[in-house]
Amino acid sequence: TFIGVKIRMMQMKLQLSLENLSLSHKLSILSTSPIAISMLYSSMEIYSKDSAIE
């Protein structure tokens, strides 16, 4: 049973690393897109306004 748990943990780690890879890949694609940059910038502006109000 211990070996089975180790294998399952390894599978979960592999899945997590794959998810992280795909996420960073998506982020790199987004960062090269000017539309994504402008959206990110506008969302940051909104956030800074909200924090200034508080």
For residue 26, pLDDT beyond 70 = yes
Is the alpha carbon torsion for 34, 35, 36, 41 positive or negative?
Answer: positive
For residue 13, pLDDT beyond 80 = yes
Could you tell me which residue, 22 or 6, shows the higher pLDDT?
Answer: 6
| Per-domain residue ranges of the chain | 2-53
In sequence order, the 6+-apart residues with CB closer than 8 A to the CB of 30 are 36, 40
For residue 51, pLDDT beyond 70 = no
Could you tell me which residue, 1 or 12, shows the higher pLDDT?
Answer: 12
For residue 29, pLDDT beyond 80 = no
The pTM is what? 0.36
